Amino acid sequence: MRFFGAGLLALALAFLAGPSAVAKPQPAIDDQFSSHERILQWIDGYRLEPEPDRLPDAVRALSRLGLFKDADTAGVFVGFMAGVLGSNPQKAESMVARMFPMPPEDQGAIIKAIAYSGLPGWKDLLGRFVERMPARKVLIDSFLFGKAKVLHDMPLDTGPAPIDTLWGYYFATGSHEPVYRIVGALAWSTDASDVNRLTIGSVAKWTLANNASRDKELLYLLRQEQRMSNHSAEVRTALKEIVEAAQSYETGKIRKDALAAIEELKRRGPQPNGTWAKAAHWGSTAIALGCVVAGATGQVALGLPCILTGALSSAAVKLLSAP
């Protein structure tokens, strides 16, 4: 009886103290978005069964899980958001509105997703949310006034994040355009003078092979690209290796060759100033590409200790030389 009485007393005290002392009910968390692995599963299957109305819930979950904190590893999520917005123009504004409230530090993901969406009126759409993101005015202005590049114009040799973002857009839409851009970077996969470009070419090659091994439509597209005469000999050779590796589910050779080429270029001498690959300790680390796909399909046993933060390349660059 004493325990029962104590419970009633606590409840009475909370009531007398006013509404601020009573815990507010928390919104239910969609089980599909309870962890980053489960969000990746949803992203991986999205283009086969689109559910655009669930995007705001997924975005809030990504924020809650801290997956927007590092801009270098959030690319795949930002690209996915952009793809869903871009392919649902009639719903885009309502979807963005439902993503709020969002902490200022995570609002950059929303801003970039709108700018990367490819919507004809993306600037007007972004402008309608300026008042809700006063702390991010500098970033918003950089897109509205053309200082920041949209996804279509973003240089791929500035780091692994642009490729992550292109893959995110592909996961949302199945569009061929992001794939064409990634294929274009294959020309750098044999670059013997610039470690940045060699790294990006290697990233492109491995992500294409890993994703094509699990995506028949992508594999078919890459077979078609292999026969296109407008590609250079280097790109056609890389596509041939990618298709063969994807068909046989053996992408390990691509990984080993990439590491060997990067290490060889390191041995040959210092790179120019501003080499981001050097800053990321790339030579002693990894391109654990395919981590996001492996995690999304439950096939984490790739022989790589993948960091499943969502990135196809940037979050996994620390693991290429891992046993």
Instruction: Measure the CA–CA gap between 288 and 299, rounded to whole angstroms.
Output: 14
Residue 246 C-alpha from the chain's centroid: 21
Q: Torsion-angle region of residue 274: left (phi > 0), alpha (psi -120 to 50) or beta?
A: left
The domain spans of the chain are 32-153, 156-319
Q: What is the pLDDT of residue 257?
A: 85
Three-class SS of residue 313?
coil
Is it true that the peptide bond before 120 is cis, omega within 30 degrees of 0?
A: no
Q: What is the pLDDT of residue 144?
A: 96
Q: What is the pLDDT of residue 194?
A: 86
pLDDT greater than 90 at residue 219: yes
Terminal-residue alpha carbon distance, the chain? 62
Beta-carbon contacts of residue 107 (< 8 Å; ≥ 6 apart) = 133, 135, 136
Q: Is the pTM of this model over 0.85?
A: no
pLDDT tens across 10-31, in order? 333 333 344 443 444 444 557 8
Mean pLDDT calculated for residue range 88-110: 97
- Closest C-alpha among 85, 73, 147 to residue 110: 85
Within 6-124, strands assigned E span: none
Least confident of 6-10, 95-99, 105-109, 215-219: 6-10
pLDDT tens across 189-206, in order? 999 888 888 888 988 898
Q: Mean of the per-residue pLDDT values for the chain? A: 78
Residues 150/169, Cβ–Cβ less than 8 Å: no
